[in-house]
Structure 1
């Protein structure tokens, strides 16, 4: 499958049972809700997917299960976040074997690689897979920035096709467009900058709160794409207090609480993460409750898809 890097691509959470095993039943419920809302791809094993706590067998199960659920309607993409180049190549080959359609890739984990090391890391993986790749550029959380000069080298490989732009610098959208045109597709990776990024030319949105509110997220994308900016802004303004739950160290717990509130998830997280308690939990629940009370009536955004 060729990936058209655009639209809303949920970075889905991984569902766990009370016994800390994969909850494939609730996982399926959530993926089906995403598809029904009109998302354009599914991304597995990101930060929200608690990838650092998943073993290789679980990642494989998630890929195979998702491929079976989506039945080719949208691409299935899995994140690669490995400590070694060898491990990343092996993960890419396994993802391809399991039926994934593409990869999202973080720089090397733990070791703070230099620019040359980071470029070689990405290139070596790209040379060892036929899958299209989106580079995840998040220097705020992962301490390594993929600069424009580094992308000049990376795009020499045809299967490095997109960037998940999470630098928090909105002007970087314009820098990338000025430098690379449409050669490097841009997907916003920060929920609280998503609409701004789309209006500045980003092609899509790797979203977090979409896990709990898929229809509202896709509506914002489709409305802005159709030029109905005021309607998109109105939904976005309602959404912002919820979206801010994504730019928080407890984003997984926050978003899983929101999924519970909308009936498409559970609160179970994998240790060392623990469910929220006390004032922190109360505050998050209040934000979610306020959002549900004022949830907007959506226009028929699906009729805008063309």
Structure 2
């Protein structure tokens, strides 16, 4: 049974100017990521604006991703629903569309009880007859599963991987301590992937690898395969400007510019135009673009123009 590992961008979704799904644009984006060496693709999660689409649109993106990947890398499709019935339906449709695995966000917004959230995951897993990658994101779901509960689901065969999106690499460490190889533990935030790799993390599934996929792969390889901490530290030092811009320059409860706009603008600054986010998220202002350009230039001086 496939367990997601390595660098798996939480993919952006590509829209036409009228807001419809840009199928050819999505396929071009898939191709760009694969050529950068990523180990997998995860469409229609949070960074993919899954919550801004209906299921028909989500499946369009999943199918485009699967078709373009053509077996070269696995596809881990996102499932974002509160309703168990809707979650099951989307999960089954995603597998029918060719997804290799499912990344299932905990049922969100209403903050169900933990027993009910566990049953939600059990129902989805049973419906597709495979273990899930649980998307453990307290920032979006409003709660998270403890490492002990993750182990419980793994022992039941409901879960074989996790996107640990809290941000604290200690969660990666403790899940690996409890579950070992039974659970592929993927760091799911954007500021401590190196620390997560150092304590045994199996990969990085988040938004930032969308704009630095080649460097993310280099970081993963240096830390987990070459076991070369000095090399990994040097790669991370190169990445720090954009990672810390993303985490700390955009401040406040309603950080501006929005992270979805940042990712898409960063790609445009590198010559890869994959459209704009869906409203209500708007394009970055000219002033904000200049700030982003300054930070991104520090990472890719051969690609991004100096101001």
Q: CA separation in 2, counterparts of 1:191 and 1:256?
A: 16
Asked whether the 8 Å contact 1:188–1:204 carries over to 2, the reply is: yes
The CA deviation at 1:29 is 2.1
Unmatched segments (≥5 aa) in structure 1: 296-306
| TM-score, scaled relative to structure 2 | 0.89
Asked whether the 8 Å contact 1:101–1:132 carries over to 2, the reply is: no
What's the CA shift string for 1:104-133, capped at 9, x where partnerless? 011112111121111111111111112441
Which structure would you say has the larger RCO, counting Cα contacts within 8 Å and 6 or more residues apart?
1
Matches within 5 A, 1:48-197: 48-197=47-196
What is the DSSP-based 3-state SS (H/G/I as helix, E as strand, rest coil) of the residue aligned with 1:117?
Answer: helix
- The CA RMSD over aligned residues, in Å, is 1.9
1:241 lines up with 2:241 in the alignment: yes
- Bigger shift: residues 285-294 or 37-46: 285-294
What is the DSSP-based 3-state SS (H/G/I as helix, E as strand, rest coil) of the residue aligned with 1:78?
Answer: strand
1:43 lines up with 2:42 in the alignment: yes
Q: CA separation in 2, counterparts of 1:106 and 1:190?
A: 14
Q: CA separation in 1, counterparts of 2:72 and 2:92?
A: 22
1:284 lines up with 2:283 in the alignment: no
What is the DSSP-based 3-state SS (H/G/I as helix, E as strand, rest coil) of the residue aligned with 1:161?
Answer: strand
The CA deviation at 1:91 is 0.8
Asked whether the 8 Å contact 2:167–2:187 carries over to 1, the reply is: no
What is the DSSP-based 3-state SS (H/G/I as helix, E as strand, rest coil) of the residue aligned with 2:191?
Answer: helix
Aligned residues: 294
What's the CA shift string for 1:260-286, capped at 9, x where partnerless? 122233341111111111543432232
| TM-score, scaled relative to structure 1 | 0.90
1:264 lines up with 2:263 in the alignment: no
Unmatched segments (≥5 aa) in structure 2: none
What's the CA shift string for 1:3-27, capped at 9, x where partnerless? 2321100111001122212222332
Q: CA separation in 2, counterparts of 1:267 and 1:244?
A: 24
Q: Please point out which of 251, 259, 272 is paired with 2:259.
A: 251
Q: CA separation in 1, counterparts of 2:179 and 2:210?
A: 31
